[in-house]
Amino acid sequence: MTQTPQGKPLPEITDLTRPFWSAARNGKLVMQKCKACGTLDFLPKPWCIECGDRRLEWTEVKPQGTVYSHTTAYTVMMNYPAWKDDLPVVICIIDLDDGPRMYGQLTDCPPEKVRIGMRVKAYFEPIGEDAAVPKFRPA
């Protein structure tokens, strides 16, 4: 597994996922949109989750939304000690303003201040020359 210099795992970038990581590296949030039914979806797939059509195009979406759900990790995740200094880590499911849901880390907010319905905005943390991770902070 490839890791950052800090010992954190890097995502496996494939032909299917490369547009997402590259757009994030350029400060944009993109998702696949079905040309047949218009469904937007997070997590790249080779077909539409609603109608099964394979004609998907990458579309930029607004990088803001509201917290749908959240959880906080207080211990090291996945046995990677490099994350110890990041604890606690708040992970949210975000209802994006353009419709789809996605999960992401919420930063710059103590866990006890996170609320369902809280407005958040994405920012992009570089993880290499070709990729960045979208994370969220309070809007």
pLDDT tens, position by position, 4-39: 777 778 888 999 999 999 999 999 999 999 999 999
What would the two tokens of residue 91 be?
């992970």
CB 68 within 8 A of CB 99: no
CA distances from 15 to 12, 45, 55 (A): 10, 11, 15
Q: Which residue has the higher pLDDT, 111 or 77?
A: 111
Residue 32 identity (one-letter amino acid): Q
Q: pTM of the prediction?
A: 0.90
The residue to which tokens 């039914």 are assigned? 37
CA distance 114 to 109: 7
> Both tokens of residue 46?
């080779």
| Beta strand spans in 3-115 (E) | 30-34, 40-41, 56-60, 64-73, 89-96, 101-106
What secondary structure letter does DSSP report for 9?
Answer: B
Q: What is the DSSP letter of 132?
A: E
Task: Return the pLDDT at 85.
Answer: 84
- Supply the pLDDT for residue 78: 60
Q: Write out pLDDT tens, residues 87-122.
A: 999 999 999 999 899 999 999 999 999 999 999 999
